[in-house]
Homo-oligomer: A and B are copies of this chain.
Amino acid sequence: MVDSEGTRERWREIIFEAETPSGRRFDVVLLVLILLSVLAVVLESVPSVRRNVGEELYILEWVFTGLFTVEYLLRLWTSRQPIRYARSFFGVVDLLSILPSFVGLLLPGGQALMVVRILRVLRVFRVLKMVRHISGATVLMRALYASRAKITVFFLALATVALIAGATMYLVEGEAGGYTSIPVGVYWAVVTITTLGFGDITPTTQLGQLLTSVLALTGYAIIAVPTGIISSEISKIDGDESTLACPSCGVHGHLPDAKYCRRCGAKFG
């Protein structure tokens, strides 16, 4: 029993730890497996590929499913609170990465089966687990979190503009111009204000072209707003991280390699 405890301990280290050598090796292998399995799902959707190597991909798919199933069971066995892990975001993602293959067996086939099969691309989310270990990620997360209020306001304003612009174009151009309803007009407005510009619906009247120009310039200028928000947040966070405070007089704004306080000249420890 104790021995089995020891085994569980060792396995937990390998599976859940990212800092130990064995844990890192495990993560790398897993990462490669995930990417390969996603690639397989993607390639399988290409008609020509499916025709030629569909058989092989099917077998490969079950190999991946088998490996991920073993891994999932190991996680449940080794984790200290199996229930909590199973309910956690990544626990659900792990389950979702194997479920579709099994569900696929029960389905008669056709559209429903296809949907389930494609659900497997969700495995890509498992990659995000690894990303947490990259230093840059935390800064971006903090920046986005800190500016959520401003971003919300920005999107509310943007939605208002898109709604008004879409309704206006629906009036100005109407059915003839392809603006068959306000929703379609709003779709067009979003495509225009984001400077996406598919060109599937375009203004035909002179007034419509004038409104389009105004909308395009608006979108072109206000892209500056979210950019400004994120920029200032990132600078602030980077700033916080890159300056030290003096232990004796407490003055801030020392660069990381400072050895003496720029105010009182006290030597840093």
| Interface positions of A (Cβ within 8 A of B) | 38, 41-43, 45-47, 114-115, 118, 121-122, 124-125, 127-128, 131, 134-137, 139-140, 143-144, 147, 149-158, 160, 163-164, 167, 170-171, 180-184, 186-187, 190-200, 202, 206, 209-210, 212-213, 216-217, 219-221, 223-236, 238, 240, 242, 251-265, 267
Distance in Å from the Cβ of A81 to the closest Cβ of chain B? 28
Q: How far is the CA of A120 from the CA of B160 in the complex (A)?
A: 13
Contact A228 B233 (CB under 8 A): yes
A197: B residues at CB distance < 8 A:
191, 195-199
Q: A149-B136, A164-B122, A199-B199 are in contact. Are A232 and B238 (CB under 8 A)?
A: yes
4 A-B pairs closest in CB distance: A136-B150, A258-B262, A136-B149, A228-B230
Contact B227 A121 (CB under 8 A): no
Interface centre among A153, A202, A251, A264 (most CB of B within 10 A): A153
Q: A194-B216, A231-B235, A256-B251 are in contact. Are A152 and B134 (CB under 8 A)?
A: yes
A151: B residues at CB distance < 8 A:
136, 221
Please name the residue on chain B nearest to A38 by beta carbon: B163
A157: B residues at CB distance < 8 A:
128, 131
Q: How far is the CA of A255 from the CA of B240 in the complex (A)?
A: 9
Please name the residue on chain B nearest to A187 by beta carbon: B209
Q: List 26 A-B contacts (CB under 8 A).
A: A42-B182, A45-B167, A45-B170, A115-B171, A118-B170, A122-B164, A124-B160, A134-B152, A136-B147, A136-B150, A139-B150, A140-B153, A155-B221, A190-B212, A191-B212, A198-B199, A199-B200, A227-B227, A227-B228, A236-B242, A254-B262, A257-B262, A258-B262, A259-B262, A265-B265, A265-B267
Q: How far is the CA of A219 from the CA of B154 in the complex (A)?
A: 14
A220: B residues at CB distance < 8 A:
193-196, 219, 223, 226
Contact A212 B195 (CB under 8 A): no
Distance in Å from the Cβ of A100 to the closest Cβ of chain B? 12
Contact B186 A213 (CB under 8 A): yes
Q: A121-B164, A163-B124 are in contact. Are A228 and B236 (CB under 8 A)?
A: no
Contact A257 B263 (CB under 8 A): yes
Contact A198 B202 (CB under 8 A): yes
Contact A231 B224 (CB under 8 A): yes
